[in-house]
Amino acid sequence: MTQSPQTTPISPEPPPRRSWAGRSRLQSAQEFVVPPLIFVCALITVLTTVGIVFVLGLETVRFFRVAGIGLFEFLGGATLNPKADPPRYGILPLLWGTFVIAFGSSLIALPIGLLSAIFLSEYAPRGLRAVLKPALELLAGIPTIVYGYLALLLVTPVLKAVLEPAIRVEFYNALSACIVVGVMIIPMVSSLSEDVLSAVPRGLREAAYGLGATKFEVATRVVLPAGLSGVLASFLLAISRAVGETMAVLLAAGVKPQIVLNPLRSVETMTAYIVNVMKGEAAVGSAEHLSLYAVGMALFAITLAMNIVSGIILKHFREEYE
């Protein structure tokens, strides 16, 4: 350090201004202005949640008052027909439609996503992995409207061509929605699970190899159980994404609220109902219009519960290797 001898700590005159870069009035002001400002930014995220709960809660209460039905009638009613006389607002058909789509798409996405996660973390050579991971991420970046369009353009016609003379396939059907939504959430399962599986320490694998296990045994009996909590959490997140999916199911599964087991017939999900009411001519403030908030509340509650449970699984059932 080339320190001149004059600058002792008790020098009587202040040092020349240019030697100290950090203090103008503007800059001292920044010190006081910035923390509250960015605190407000953080507060906006909290306000968003408060806003969602407040808006949905308020309008749901209004719905029950205007429609004159009770909570039990809403949650337990098996018919949904706002145009009927008297109008019927049972959410069960929508819950059923949502369940069918979520279940069917997870039948496709969970196994495929998990297997690709295992492949990427255990088997893939570096070069292949460097190509496949971005490709899967691109798949995740495709907007849902494209998947919906694909269901109309490709999946339903193929289903018709394969099954049609024997089994009737409706133009809007649950199966094509399950297929496109399933494909849509594969990258979610695979990338989240892969992160968890890659994080399993090498030592565990090497110990298993040392005991004579094959690669298959290491992958399925050592690595997978070690990362199980993360894999389950990714499953839940993917299912919750399927539950909240709108455009693909609206285009593929249609807007017919009915409880049917046949996946080749049309169903309506909660999300599709919300959009459908909005697009319809229901007057603002009418019971039919307000019903979209009640359905939105149910949707929000279901997805929130799944996300919270997945967070708890991730936090409390994680294996610690320290």
Footprint on residues 243-282 left by another protein (CB under 8 A): 243-247, 250-251, 271, 274-275, 278-279
Q: What's the CA gap between 151 and 143, in Å, rounded?
A: 13
Cβ proximity of 218 and 209 under 8 Å? yes
* Of the candidate residues 62, 99, 209, 217, the single one contacting another protein (CB under 8 A): 217
> Judged by CB under 8 A, how many residues of this single chain contact another protein?
107
Q: Is residue 45 near another protein by the rule CB under 8 A?
A: yes
In degrees rounded to 5, what are phi and psi of residue 88? -115, 130
Spell out the residues 6+ positions from residue 247 whose beta carbon is closer than 8 angstroms to its own.
Answer: 143, 144, 145, 147, 148
CA 313 to chain centre: 16
Determine the interface stretch with another protein among 75-83, 200-208, 214-222, 227-235 (rule: CB under 8 A).
214-222
**Residue 145 to residues 126, 250, 284, Cα–Cα distance (Å):** 33, 9, 27
**Considering beta carbons, is residue 52 or 262 the nearer one to another protein?**
52
**Considering beta carbons, is residue 117 or 226 the nearer one to another protein?**
117
Q: What's the CA gap between 171 and 263, in Å, rounded?
A: 12
**Considering beta carbons, is residue 141 or 165 the nearer one to another protein?**
141
**Considering beta carbons, is residue 48 or 167 the nearer one to another protein?**
48
**Considering beta carbons, is residue 78 or 140 the nearer one to another protein?**
140
Q: Is residue 135 near another protein by the rule CB under 8 A?
A: yes
**Residue 21 to residues 17, 28, 86, 293, Cα–Cα distance (Å):** 8, 12, 76, 56
- What x-and-dash track marks residues 5-34 binding another protein by CB under 8 A? --x-x-x--xxx-xxxxxxx--xx-xx--x
